[in-house]
């Protein structure tokens, strides 16, 4: 261990799945110390939720969260210790998390792995980069501690709920956001895949209305984006604020910006050899979607539901909302501008 408690640097990141499999002995009992507090928090006021999981949603400091994520969040706020070299990917769900996980991981993993036999060809990006709240909620706090530096971790928490150890240290945060209308459409289809069809869901109008009112997991989305945007203006060296639609338009430009921000800029030689383009290609929607692991694999989840790796790859485009929202209710759509 390094003197600051962080595990020393390795030349390339190891997929989190591998670290987890070799450190199962570190799994602890699920944290329960905040359950009494959680039980006092307001419950979701709406009867029909998009997901019919057992977990009710609670309102904590203006943010709606499932009880399990909240349990993880409170444990994380209390116990998480960041390292200066940590890189956090923060995002609202369905804003480009999978893609950004792949890009960050591949940017760091570009020296020792041939891009042809890259871990991303055999691991879903979510198996490479952990989702912090869930890891804390399921007793895997100590596994996060043994990830070699530089650790890459993902959170869906708004800036206001991040542990002080993240906001007050010199570690970096990459934030990706997306047109909220496309976020809603993307989540609508994702939920259908998980639940096994639209007939198990609320109607799209109800689903839309929940988001519109901020009554969704990690919602309201507006506060989420605004919190990171404001902080990125204040501390641009701390937060890289990226937009999904911009990356789609100019992936090479943003891949370079990402590497620079992460402290591992591309060398002139790498640029001349086309390494940036290769990484962009490796992480592209089409390449990732076509890997067998993303066609047939599954992810374990905290809610004991079955999430297929394929469910993270649908269209991968900007503006699909026009096929759903305008045709239903143009008045609502215009509120977003
Ligand atoms: P998560 O927050 O649950 O991990 P996230 O990855 O943010 O989900 O969102 C999934 C969306 O990203 C999907 O959008 P869609 O439903 O509108 O199609 C998915 O298709 C898209 N996506 C996944 N990988 C990529 C990629 N490599 N490039 C572009 N878009 C991608």
Token look-up 């990171």 returns: 228
Q: How far is the CA of 190 from the centre of ligand 1 (A)?
A: 10
pLDDT digits (tens, 9 = 90+) for 40-75: 999 876 545 555 455 678 999 999 998 889 999 999
Sequence-ordered alpha helix ranges (H) in 235-325: 244-249, 251-261, 268-273, 275-282, 285-290, 292-296
Instruction: Please report, for the chain, the start and end positions of each structural domain, with discontinuous segments joined by +.
Output: 16-334
Which whole number is the average pLDDT over 279-299?
Answer: 95
Name, of 66-70, 113-117, 277-281, the range with top average pLDDT.
Answer: 277-281
Structure tokens at 47: 């009867």
Model confidence, pTM: 0.93
Mean pLDDT of the chain: 88
Which whole number is the average pLDDT over 185-205?
Answer: 84
Q: Is the minimum distance from the CB of 155 to ligand 1 under 6 angstroms?
A: no
Per-residue 3-state assignment (H helix, E strand, C coil) for 33-96: CCHHHHHHCCECCCCCCCCCCCCCEEEECCEEEEHHHHHHHHHHHHHCCCCCCCEEEEECCCCC
Closest protein CA for atom 9 of ligand 1:
94
Give strand pairing partners of 91: 176
Which whole number is the average pLDDT over 226-236?
Answer: 98
Q: How would you class 317 by CB atoms within 10 Å of its CB: exposed for 0-12, middle for 13-18, buried for 19 or more?
A: exposed
Q: Residue 317 to residues 91, 176, 183, 204, 248: CA-CA distances in angstroms?
A: 17, 15, 11, 20, 8
Asked if 318 and 245 count as a contact pair (C-beta separation under 8 A), the reply is yes
Per-residue model confidence (pLDDT) at position 179: 96
Q: Of 171, 174, 170, 132, which Cα lies nearest the Cα of 154?
A: 132
Per-residue model confidence (pLDDT) at position 134: 93
Structure tokens at 304: 């004991």
Asked if 308 and 120 count as a contact pair (C-beta separation under 8 A), the reply is no
Per-residue model confidence (pLDDT) at position 165: 96
Q: Of 333, 337, 315, 294, which Cα lies nearest the Cα of 248?
A: 315
Q: Is the minimum distance from the CB of 283 to ligand 1 under 6 angstroms?
A: yes
Per-residue model confidence (pLDDT) at position 86: 96
Q: What is d(CA 318, CA 243) in angstroms, rounded to the nearest whole number? A: 11
The sign one gets for the Cα dihedral 252, 256, 257, 258 is positive
For residue 19, pLDDT beyond 80: yes
DSSP letter (8 states) at residue 324: T
Q: Is the minimum distance from the CB of 314 to ligand 1 under 6 angstroms?
A: yes
pLDDT digits (tens, 9 = 90+) for 245-275: 999 999 999 999 999 999 999 999 999 999 9
Backbone angles phi, psi at 28, to 5 degrees: -105, 175
Q: What is d(CA 20, CA 18) in angstroms, rounded to the nearest whole number? A: 5
Asked if 14 and 120 count as a contact pair (C-beta separation under 8 A), the reply is no
Active site residues per annotation? 156
**Planar angle of CA 142, 101, 297, nearest 5 degrees:** 85
Q: Is the minimum distance from the CB of 245 to ligand 1 under 6 angstroms?
A: no
Q: How far is the CA of 124 from the centre of ligand 1 (A)?
A: 12
Closest protein CA for atom 24 of ligand 1:
99
Q: What share of the chain in percent tops pLDDT 90?
A: 69
Which whole number is the average pLDDT over 179-187?
Answer: 95
Give the number of other Cβ atoms within 10 Å of residue 37's Cβ: 13
Tell which CATH classification among 3.30.450.20, 1.10.10.10, 3.30.1330.10, 3.40.50.300 matches the domain 16-334: 3.40.50.300
Over its C-alpha atoms, the chain yields an Rg (Å, rounded) of 19
């Amino acid at each position: 261990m390094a003197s600051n408690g962080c595990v020393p640097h390795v030349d390339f990141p190891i997929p989190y799945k591998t670290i987890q499999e070799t450190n199962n002995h570190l799994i602890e009992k699920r944290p329960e110390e905040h359950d009494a507090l959680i039980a006092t928090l307001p419950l979701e006021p709406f009867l029909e939720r998009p997901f019919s999981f057992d977990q009710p949603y609670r309102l904590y400091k203006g943010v709606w969260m499932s009880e399990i994520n909240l349990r993880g969040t409170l444990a994380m706020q209390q116990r998480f210790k960041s390292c200066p070299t940590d890189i956090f990917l923060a995002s609202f769900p369905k804003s480009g998390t999978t893609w950004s996980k792949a890009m960050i991981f591949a940017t760091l993993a570009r020296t020792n792995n041939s891009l042809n036999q890259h871990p991303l060809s055999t691991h879903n990006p979510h198996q490479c980069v952990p989702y912090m709240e869930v890891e804390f909620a399921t007793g895997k706090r100590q596994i996060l501690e043994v990830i070699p530096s530089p650790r890459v971790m993902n959170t869906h928490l708004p800036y206001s709920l991040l542990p002080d150890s993240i906001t007050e240290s010199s570690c970096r945060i990459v934030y990706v956001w997306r047109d909220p209308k496309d976020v809603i459409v993307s989540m609508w289809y994702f939920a259908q895949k998980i639940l096994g069809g639209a007939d198990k869901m609320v109607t799209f109008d109800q689903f839309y209305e929940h988001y519109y009112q901020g009554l969704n997991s990690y919602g309201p989305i507006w506060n989420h984006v605004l919190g990171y945007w404001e902080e990125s203006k204040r501390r641009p060296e701390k937060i890289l604020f990226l937009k999904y639609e911009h990356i789609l338009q100019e992936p090479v430009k943003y891949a370079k910006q990402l590497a620079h921000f992460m402290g591992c800029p591309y060398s002139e030689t790498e640029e001349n050899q086309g390494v940036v383009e290769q990484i962009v290609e490796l992480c592209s929607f089409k390449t990732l979607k076509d890997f067998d692991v993303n066609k047939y694999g599954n992810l374990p989840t905290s809610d004991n539901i079955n999430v297929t790796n394929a469910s993270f790859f649908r269209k991968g485009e900007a503006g699909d909302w026009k096929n759903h929202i305008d045709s239903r209710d143009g008045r609502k759509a215009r509120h977003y501008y």
